[in-house]
Amino acid sequence: MRCWLPAAVLGLVLTTSGAMAGPTLLFDASNGKVLYAEDQDDQWHPASLTKIMTAYLTFEALKSGRLTLEQKITVSENAHVLPPSKVGLPVGAEMKVDLAIRALIVKSANDVAVMLAEAIGGSEEAFVKKMNETAQRLGMTRTRFVNPHGLPAPEQVTTARDLGKLSRAVLADFPEQASLWALADMQIGRRRLRTHNGLLKTYEGADGLKTGFICDSGYNVVASASRDGRRLVAVVLGESTGRDRNVRAASLLQHGFDSYGWKQMFDTTTIDSLAVGEAKAAASIRTSLASWQCNGRKPPRRLIAKKRKGKPRPPRKPTRPARAQLPPTGYRRSKSTW
């Protein structure tokens, strides 16, 4: 189901480099007014967007005094065995909460998500219960969490509408933490960890929030950007590549900013009052992704180690990717990706 403002407001169509793979939602963070929505109630696997809820409960624990930024939390065996993305500290190692929050948001560290969950809830299971209770309190009626990190779990589902509610809540309830969502990198010892959110470097005004990817979900993002005191948030789920995810989110945000002045002329719908569409249950989109790790295709030649006699062949120059249709302003190419 698509929900549009009049064509004069949003500019007829929103285009990407490929077909839209999943649900989308664009809204004003200050009042929740919806500028665009499509399949907003279809269930989807959140992947690492789950960590927005983990961060919400961490901020809540800080605000209540149950946790402090200088407090140290420990790497358990349960946290250590998780696959990447992760910080990768050994069992028994300690990390300050302040650093852990940054690793959760910037690196999207799965091990750190469990460390925070155990510190706040006493156990991962107890923390997940808090996640679901908070989701219900925020009105996330079609969301269910089974872990704090977003690694594959068939029962872990959400919707674009519910992610909109969560994102708006974390920005409104914890404005003092807003700068964390805009971090492009961080330092742990000698290691510099960089964000997966390419929009922070390529889209004017981008200031958050979080990306997510597993094979069953495709490339997800909740992207926010601020201009002239206005903050818009775009939820994009199920794109087939990271580049498509960035272009789609940037296109939504740009059309939102271009049409912002018109919103005073219309009684636009809010996230809460938006009509419920013909909602679908979550399904894997693994086979439609370009990622060779997900669709069973052979890996690229450059990743297959082969011994060659004599002088090694010089690396081939990368081929130029197909040109995607970009928004007219506010978006630029980075050196290596979009």
Distance, CA of 276 to CA of 161 (rounded, Å): 10
Residue 312 is assigned to a structural domain of this protein: no
Q: Are 170 and 231 in contact, with CB atoms under 8 Å apart?
A: no
Cα distances from 75 to residues 85, 96, 112, 129, 233, in angstroms, run 15, 11, 8, 21, 34
Total structural domains within the chain: 1
Residue 332 is assigned to a structural domain of this protein: no
User: What CATH number has the domain bearing residue 87?
Assistant: 3.40.710.10
Give catalytic residues, as residue numbers.
Answer: 48, 51, 108
Tokens of 60: 């809540």
Q: Are 275 and 40 in contact, with CB atoms under 8 Å apart?
A: no
- Domain span at residue 31 reads 2-301
Residue 328 is assigned to a structural domain of this protein: no
Distance, CA of 307 to CA of 170 (rounded, Å): 51
Would you give the distance in Å from CA 41 to the centre of its chain?
17
Q: How many CB atoms lie within 10 A of CB 183?
A: 18
Tokens of 25: 């939602």
Distance, CA of 220 to CA of 237 (rounded, Å): 4
Residue 315 is assigned to a structural domain of this protein: no
Residue 119 is assigned to a structural domain of this protein: yes
Q: Are 328 and 254 in contact, with CB atoms under 8 Å apart?
A: yes
Cα distances from 275 to residues 3, 139, 140, 159, 254, in angstroms, run 9, 15, 15, 14, 24
pTM: predicted TM-score of the whole model, two decimal places = 0.83
The residues of the chain scoring below 70 in pLDDT are 1-21, 261-267, 290-293, 295-338
Residue 186 is assigned to a structural domain of this protein: yes
Residue 324 is assigned to a structural domain of this protein: no
- Scored b (16 or more CB within 10 A) or e, 13-45 reads ebebbbebbbbbbbbbbeebbbbbbbbbbbbbb
Distance, CA of 247 to CA of 338 (rounded, Å): 7
Would you give the distance in Å from CA 106 to the centre of its chain?
11
Q: What is the pLDDT of residue 282?
A: 78
Residue 317 is assigned to a structural domain of this protein: no
Cα distances from 117 to residues 61, 70, 189, in angstroms, run 11, 17, 23
**Which residue is associated with the tokens 């920005």?**
171
